[in-house]
Amino acid sequence: MRSRSWCSAALLLLAGCGGPHGADPFAYNRSRPLAVSDAGVALAGRKVTVHVVSYDGGAGRVNAFVLVPRAPGSHPAVLFLHGSGGNREDMLVPAVELANRGVVTMTISQPNDAANFGPLVVNARRALDVLSQRGDVDSKRLGLVGYSLGGQTAAILAGDEPRLKAIGIVAGRGASVPVYWIHRAHAHLFFEAGTQDAVVPHAQLVALMHAAPGRPLVRWYPAGHGMDTRSMQDMVAWQAQELR
């Protein structure tokens, strides 16, 4: 499972593995302007403001929310990736909880094509660029949380995005492409999964965990694919601790 030899030409065409000379299949032009647009504050709380934002992704505009702590200073930042069929609203609850702890958070709307990870990964990498360029973000303390399809994307980024320090993977499927890339991970990893998941088979959940290097944190919850409140709270607390 951890060998590069199984990486077929078909996977290369899907941008799943490195090219013949170690080229990054998810490379993108980092000099291309992000063209960030902030449409203003959608919600303003006592500790956090929620901004409606968009930026140029890999192939078109990406809609996002950026949640900013009111406290001054340089904050860590965490990007949240939703599951298949979702959008930027799906991950707002944990994003708000983490922002209340002093972390700049961002949720984005992604395509829903698990057969083509290219746009998903590039959109996420450019979202990290957006966060890194903010004056209130410490670019050396970046985290990521991905759920379901977003968890597969997070697994790829774990092996392809060196800026990330802490990566949470929730209910992530152990498909061949994420399994290949997570083997290269250097960030701290936290896997969450439900014992009653009827969407991703247990063997697929375990496959992704077992492909990760080292001894990542793994927790199982008595929940279905949608997970539960406890798992969200645990992920928020872990990210806050890891990024301090």
Count the domains in the chain: 1
Spell out the long-range contacts of 68-71 with Cβ–Cβ below 8 A and sequence spacing 24 or more: 68/99, 68/104, 68/136, 69/99, 69/100, 69/102, 69/103, 69/104, 70/46, 71/47, 71/102
CA 44 from chain centre, in angstroms, equals: 25
Report how far residue 30's alpha carbon sits from residue 102's, in angstroms, rounded to the nearest whole number.
28
What pLDDT shows up at residue 23? 82
- Provide the pairing of β-strand 48-56 with 37-44: antiparallel
- Full domain range(s) for residue 37: 4-243
Task: For residues 165 and 138, give the distance between their C-alpha atoms in angstroms, rounded to a whole number.
Answer: 12
Residues shown for the chain? 244
Q: What is the pLDDT of residue 129?
A: 98
The CATH number of the domain holding residue 151 is: 3.40.50.1820
Contacts 24+ apart (CB under 8 A), 203-208: 203/174, 204/173, 204/174, 204/175, 205/171, 205/172, 205/173, 205/174, 206/174, 207/1, 207/174, 207/179, 208/151, 208/152, 208/155, 208/169, 208/172, 208/173, 208/174, 208/178, 208/179, 208/182
Digits of tens for pLDDT over the chain (244 positions)?
333 332 333 333 344 455 434 689 999 999 999 999 999 999 999 999 999 999 999 989 999 999 999 999 999 999 999 999 999 999 999 999 999 999 999 999 999 877 799 999 999 999 999 999 999 999 999 999 999 999 999 999 999 999 999 999 999 999 999 999 999 999 999 999 999 999 999 999 999 999 999 999 999 999 999 999 999 999 999 999 999 9
Q: SS3 letters for 131-145?
A: HHCCCCEEEEEEEEE
Give residue 224's pLDDT: 98
At 197, which amino acid appears? D
pLDDT of residue 114: 75
What pLDDT is recorded for position 107? Answer: 98
| Residues 6 or more apart whose Cβ sits within 8 Å of residue 20 | none
